[in-house]
Structure 1
Amino acid sequence: MKFINELKRRNVIRVAGAYLVVGWFLIQLADQLVVAFHLPSWSNSFVFVMLGIGLPITMLVAWAFEMTPEGLRRTHESEPHRSVATSPVRVGDYLVLVALLVICGYLYYDFQSRDGDEGDGTLTVGAMAVLPFANLSVEPEQEGVSRALTAEVRNRLTRLGGLKVVAGTASLKPDDNQDLAAIGEKYRVPVVLDGSVQRVGNRLRVMAQLVDTERGVQLWAKTFNRDVSDMLSVQDDLSQAIVEDIRKAITPPAPEEGMGDLATGKNAYGAAARKLLETGRAKLTQRTPESLATAITALEQALARDPRLAQAHAAMAEAYLLQGKGWSTYGTVPLEDALARARPYAARALEIDPALAEGHAVSGLIDLASGHADQAITKLKKAVERKPALARARLWLYQAYAARNRLAEAVPQLQRAYELEPDNLAIGLNMSRFLALRDRRLEADTLLDRLDRLYPGNINLLAARGARLADEWRPVDAIQLLLRANKSGPADERIRLMLGMAYLDLGATAEAERWFDQGKGDVRLAQGRAADALVEARHLFAAEPANPDRAFALADAELAVGNPSGAIDVLKPYELLSSDGAGPLYGRTPASMPALTLAAAKRAVGDEAGAAPLLEGARRYLARQREMGFEHPYFIYLDARIAALSGDAAQAMAALRQAVSQRFPGISGVAWDPALASLRDLPEYRMLVADLDADRERRRIRLREMGLLGAS
């Protein structure tokens, strides 16, 4: 206590307080001067260190000396227990104290707004726009840093399941005077994220804030400071820190805080979200590009009302995936893009509710579309176990089992799915195809008739009927129906592709080319233009390397131009996913069964040992199909291809004669199929192709008479 009293008498505490106040102001001033005069980045640190060194020196001087009315004098010369300086200036003590309190309050506020802030977790946000971060640096070249950081933050935010991030705002320019209300109305977002980037030397400061677009109120803000050594690492670190804090800041409130019991609809807001979910799911069942777009809109609105509605996230993942282009999807979006859009929603659904059957089901569907059938089976089985009445999970499990040629396990899943939801369009179409392949064609047509009454004019039903006519080698009737379907959905690539294939089967290559939007390789091959087919196949594969159909078409083209090594390289990843007559190399159409393309390529390079298991796998595939009661003319054509690649010309020709007599979609490939190369010098083969060409010419004449050659 005596020491404290002596410090007071010698004014050491008073001087220290004043020194801290003045020092703090000097630090703030230095921070501004560094930017204004382009001083080195270590200038701030230098000022801070010097002030730190000066504090103990100042306190020692205050202990040893004292300012008196007579001037500066040693403290020991003053009267004991009395300070000359303390008596007349008590007001200064209070000013110093107030200044210290203000500084402490400011430092606390600043600390709360910096990296240590965890957010209050009270904002409910389903959609936002990210405005370009403003470049406050003096150097114009730093504009690239702000753009890169903006893009990285936007990309990371899109991976937060349930949060819609508007992409169009990237075209806006950073502007402090932007009309946020107009931006919110234009992009239909309740909040926007904007900020600024400032670099001085090796120091980078990023400020970010969330703003309510309607009220103009700042909802969240934070300042991030980083030393710059590796700019890419710093950008990655900053974007992760910003997004993590936003994730915490927009955690939706608990039900007792206003969301209500969504499962029972006790809260009106939650009931509205559930209603929108039901609307979205109903649109999903129609399986058209228009209905999928409508479903996504409804589901976005549901998630804007309740970002934690896990079933809406799962439905959104399904909708985005079904927008992909392919035989088992229904849209026009490249498959890779569709998968990229779907994955975050599937992940978010399971993050919210790990036990959600719909979440496991759609996650399995994504794996199936990506070519990972075994992973899909595991997830889909889990979905069925958790919710046995989830018919679409059983449908997708049927497709996954079929992809692995596990038909004994696949068929019961389809049958049970149909029992649960006989009016479901996707399930009905698969059941109709299943019945037709088992030669129960009357039942298949009856089912299509019933679905047509439920979904009048649905383009998928028109496509299914066209496929049925083509299967029965009624290409003229199929073309008539598919032309009508095309008028209903001219943007549907599947319809155009089926029309192209139907014309190609008749040898009308010029007309076929009109209908192929992409993938005209089969036309080029049929025209003897293998080099042109390869150029196009390479281009399409480069655009969609994860799309199996692009890879298989490229392998066919590589083999056709005499580059078997190229075909082997393209198909190698799919060989790793296939074995024992199961996997993506099997179960394709007869002209492009990739296992046989790969076997032909391996034989061409002298790898007989590598070709043998592929041929045996193809035999196993056909045997399992036939054991389950499936039969189709293209199965006989596969027999011919396998025999030709195995070196049994007699058996190959016998099967080929039988297949050609029955006709089937893809029959045009007989003339150029690389798997049949060993037969082309046989007179019997040349006569067979000539007879087939004559039959197709007769049908082309009929098409001309009906005005269907050149029809639009």
Structure 2
Amino acid sequence: MRLIDELKRRNVFRIAGTYCVVTFAFIELVPNLVDAFGLPAWSTTFVFLMLALGFPIVILVTWAFEMTPEGLRRTEDVDQHRKVILSSAKLGDYALLVAIIAAVGYMSYTVNMREGGSQMAGMPVINTVAVLPFANLSVEPEQEGMSRAITSDVRNRLAKVASLKVVAGPASQKPGDDEDIHAIGKKLDAPVVLDGSVQRSGAKLRVMAQLIDTENGVQLWSKTFDREMADMLVVQDDLAQSIVDDVRKIIMPPAVSDAEAQDAGSQANKLLNSGRSGLAQRTEASLVAATSAFEQAIMRDPKSAPAHAALAEALLLQGRTWETYGQMPLADAVARARPFANKALELDPKLADARAVSGLIDLASGNTAAAIASLAKAVEQKPDLAKARLWLYQAYAATGRFDEGVDQLRKAHELDPTSLAIGLNMALFLALSDHRLEADMLLDRLDALYPDNENLLAARGARLADDWRPADAIQLLGRANKANPADERVRSMIGLAYLDLGAASEAAQWLDARDMVLLAQGRPADALAEARKRFAADPADQARVFALADAEAAAGHSKAAAALLSPFEALSNDGTGPLYGRSPLAMPALTLAGARLALGDTAGARPLLEGARTWLARQRAMGFEHPKLVYLEARIDALDGKQDDAMDALRRAVSQRFAGVSVVGWDPALASLRARPDYVSLVADLDSDRLRRRARLKDMGLLASL
């Protein structure tokens, strides 16, 4: 007790407390000064050590000296019974006590903020990321290609994230082993790097990815992804997208100012409206931007059912099909979209938009019955929801119920005449119904609303090609291709336009299916070899099966063609099913019928021909009247032995500006007509017309040679 009393008398406790408060203040202040003056990172540690070393010195000085009315004196020189009492001593004690309590409270507050409050404050804005090559940890060195493919896919997908700059591939090659993460970040000018590894063992694949802060080496995020190896491309797409989705959540920069972000609900609505404008454009870039906007809206308002429904729509429309607008595998697009549609319905079961997009996902998945049920329910909930009626039309069309579907399409167009998606579907319907002038007028009106839109350019180019104006079509389709070079639909339309003109070399540059070009050139053996090669690469692709059957039939291999198509007969009946679902120019049912006739199986061919006539009659009953349908009539009659009727239909198709003239010369269905003088004369006239059109194309600089 005497020691404690002596410490109190000599003010050791008071000075120690004061020193701790001052030290704490310095510790909080120094990091800001280091950043402000650009001092080295070790400066903070140095100051802390100096303050720690100073503590015992201050305590020793306080013990050895005392403050007296006459000033500072050594303790042994001061009367031990004389107690120093300053007028402010008690006040100082209270002030010190308050300061210590405040310091402890502030320390607790800052620790809590650092540990738990960081989620409220969010990550600092990160605008640049470098993707380092994923290391191959597999035993087999040939798996290095898989590591490079995943790295490239992740890098390309991150590059599509709005407001994020990704360091180009060559710049972010694997650094040397002696480079630390800080040096890598400085060299690449990237605040964060994404690194990882790929390891395969038998049928199992493990990918580890991590996001590292290059300033301090802190790991911001890491995750291990395990997958079963089935289809390598599907697994690669899934892994890359999963990594990008997680990384985007960590580094997504805010798209709004701090002042606007104070009102989360209002800002979420602004982002929702911004994303909807991207949806309306229906381009791949606008859909990516819309996805980002919807994700940010959900971050600000996680209970927004409309934002979840809109995000599901944006993700689904990025699938790679003829009806959607992106390059994502459709299965991936469906898998990514469905959880958000389900969440939207969970948040608001009465939201018609959520019900509608759920139906669209079912349609994309091939479940047309569920799609029709959901979309009909959405229309019932909200009769003026135009897009629900559009998708219901598409669902009805997928099941051959055009009469019901067309009513929905017309109503959708009445409700929203400015919608690009609805307008494009309406224009196509009008053109197929032989209302070509109305279709062109509608496309012109849309062009005023959506100038230079790549989808509209493609639709207008397709209309010109369909109207047998290939030179003008190629010009417009070329502009669409320039806007989006990855769109396979546009490339195919350009290739087919060149092919109809007889420009085989140009067509081969645009068409992946070279067997079509070789058939048009009268080279069935070469076409068959190409078709077999494409089929071997993906035997499960139904389109490649049908293309191979066409090539086998054109080469005179009727038995092989019949063997390829016969399995589909059980799935097709009365003009419906896969044998009847393609273009009138390439209906597999007629290829199978022709093969059976060549093999002497007239009875086996008869139901197929009747099914084709039923399909044709159904199209005309729904109001469709198009030169392609007239050409289909010629094919059916030729196979049915009605040569005069076939020639009459063929002349009518050509007089109505039939665009698919490249098939007339080699079509196996027309084989029975080739010895007729009127058929030979018609083909010669077509060839002369194509030559004149090629000359015009050459004058326009769109053709290398005649």
TM range (shorter): 0.5 to 0.7
Give the corresponding residue for 2:680: 686
Structure 2 partner of 1:479: 474
Question: Which residue of 1 is the match for residue 589 of structure 2?
Answer: 595
**1:330 corresponds to which of 325, 341, 344:** 325
* Residue 339 (str. 1) matches residue 330 (str. 2): yes
Provide the aligned C-alpha RMSD in A.
5.7
1:626 is aligned, of 609, 620, 623, to 620
Question: What is the 5 A alignment of 1:402-481?
Answer: 402-481=397-476
Q: Residues 179 and 307 from structure 1, CA distance in 2 versus in 1: closer, same or farther, beyond 3 angstroms?
A: farther
One-letter amino acid of the counterpart of residue 631, structure 2: Y
Total equivalences in the alignment: 551
Which amino acid in structure 2 is aligned with residue 345 of structure 1?
Answer: R
Task: Find the counterpart in structure 1 of residue 580 from structure 2.
Answer: 586
1:704 counterpart = 2:678: no
**Relative to 1, partners in 2 of residues 1:144 and 1:456: Cα closer, same or farther, differing over 3 Å?**
closer
Q: Which secondary structure state, in structure 2, belongs to the residue aligned with residue 681 of structure 1? A: coil
SS of residue paired to 1:340 = helix
**What is the Cα deviation at residue 522 of structure 1?**
1.8
1:666 aligns with 2:660: yes
Following superposition, the deviation at residue 544 of structure 1 comes to 6.0
Aligned CA distance change for structure 1 residues 479 and 134 (closer, same or farther; 3 Å):
closer
Q: CA deviation digits over 1:152-183, x for unaligned, max 9?
A: 9xx9xxxxxxxx9x9x999999x9x9869999
Instruction: Give the Cα–Cα distance (whole angstroms) in 2 for the partners of residues 367 and 171 of structure 1.
Output: 42
> What is the deviation of 1:639?
0.7
Q: C-alpha displacement at 1:591, in angstroms?
A: 2.1
Task: Point out the more displaced range, 301-310 or 677-686.
Answer: 301-310
Q: Which amino acid aligns with 1:339?
A: L
- One-letter amino acid of the structure 2 residue matched with residue 505 of structure 1: D
Q: Distance in 2 between matches of 1:493 and 1:442?
A: 28
Deviation string, structure 1 residues 456-485 (Cα, Å, up to 9, x no partner): 111222222222222222233333443444
Equivalent residue runs for 1:2-151 within 5 Å: none
String of CA shifts for 1:69-111, please: whole Å, max 9, x gaps: xxxxxxxxxxxxxxxxxxxxxxxxxxxxxxxxxxxxxxxxxxx
Contact 2:518 2:527 in 1 (8 A): yes
**Per-residue CA shift, 1:575-629, capped at 9, x if unaligned?**
5654432345435333212332343344445555554333223222222222222
Q: Distance in 2 between matches of 1:617 and 1:283?
A: 43
Q: CA deviation at 1:638?
A: 0.7
CA deviation after TM superposition for structure 1 residue 565, in Å: 5.3
Mapped partners of 2:642, 2:517: distance in 1: 29
Per the TM alignment, residue 359 of structure 1 is displaced from its structure 2 partner at its CA by 4.8
- 1:660 CA displacement: 2.3
Distance 1:686 1:518 in 2: 30
Contact 1:380 1:393 in 2 (8 A): yes
Amino acid at match of 2:513: G
Which residue of 1 is the match for residue 339 of structure 2? 348
CA contact (8 A) 2:372 2:395 kept: yes
Q: State the match for 2:282 in structure 1.
A: 287
Q: Name the aligned partner's letter for residue 669 of structure 1.
A: V
Matches within 5 A, 1:218-233: none
What is the alpha-carbon distance in structure 1 between the residues aligned to residue 520 and residue 556 of structure 2?
Answer: 16
- Distance, in Å, in 2 between the alignment partners of 1:439 and 1:290 is 34
Instruction: Decide whether aligned partners of structure 1 residues 133 and 591 sit closer, same or farther in structure 2, where only a CA change above 3 A counts.
Output: closer
- 1:158 corresponding residue in structure 2: none
- 2:661–2:686: 8 Å Cα contact kept in structure 1? no
CA distance in structure 1 between the aligned counterparts of 2:702 and 2:511, rounded to whole angstroms: 19
* C-alpha contact 1:503 1:509 (8 A) present in aligned 2: yes
| Residue in 2 that maps onto 1:651 | 645
Say whether the 8 Å CA contact 2:308–2:344 is kept in structure 1: no
Q: Distance in 2 between matches of 1:597 and 1:130?
A: 50
Which whole-Å CA distance do the structure 1 matches of 2:355 and 2:180 have between them? 43
- What is the aligned partner in structure 1 of residue 607 from structure 2? 613
Shift in CA distance, 413/523, structure 1 to aligned 2, threshold 3 Å: same
**Are residues 540 and 583 of structure 1, via their aligned partners in 2, closer, same or farther at CA, if it must alter by over 3 Å?**
same
Distance 1:546 1:373, change over 3 A: farther
For residue 443 of structure 2, what is the amino acid of its counterpart?
Answer: L
2:579 and 2:385 map into 1 onto residues whose CA distance is 29
Summarize deviations over 1:305-332 as a string: whole Å, max 9, x none.
Answer: 566655555544544444444432334x
> Cα distance 1:692–1:191, how it changes in 2: closer, same or farther (>3 A)?
closer
Measured in 1, the distance between the counterparts of 2:694 and 2:198 equals 67
- Residue type of the alignment partner of 1:452: D
Describe the shift of the 1:135–1:289 C-alpha distance in structure 2 as closer, same or farther (beyond 3 A): closer
Change (3 A) 1:133 1:679: closer
Q: C-alpha displacement at 1:424, in angstroms?
A: 0.9
Q: Taking structure 2 as the reference length, what is the TM-score of the superposition?
A: 0.62
Q: Does residue 504 of the first structure (1) align with residue 504 of the second (2)? A: no
Which 5+ residue runs of structure 1 have no aligned equivalent?
1-121, 156-163, 200-205, 224-230, 233-245, 253-264
In the alignment, the residues of structure 2 paired with residue 384 and residue 676 of structure 1 have an alpha-carbon distance, to the nearest angstrom, of 46
Q: Whole-Å Cα distance in 2 between the matches of residues 679 and 487 of structure 1?
A: 42
Closer/same/farther in 2, CA of residues 527 and 581 from structure 1, 3 Å limit: same
- Please tell me whether the aligned partners of residues 506 and 668 of structure 1 are also in contact (alpha carbons under 8 angstroms): yes
- Distance in 2, matches of 1:208 and 1:339, equals 25
More divergent stretch after superposition (526-535 vs 560-569): 560-569
Aligned residue in 2 for 1:74: none
Which whole-Å CA distance do the structure 2 matches of 1:479 and 1:132 have between them? 41
C-alpha distance in 1, partners of 2:458/2:277?
21
Superposed CA deviations along residues 616-667 of structure 1, whole A, max 9, x for unmatched, are 2322222222222221111111111112222322322222222223231212
Q: CA deviation at 1:133?
A: 12
Identify if the C-alpha distance between structure 1 residues 306 and 525 changes in structure 2 by more than 3 Å, giving closer, same or farther: farther
> Residue 671 of structure 1 aligns to which amino acid in structure 2?
G
**Contact preservation (8 Å) 1:470, 1:664:** no
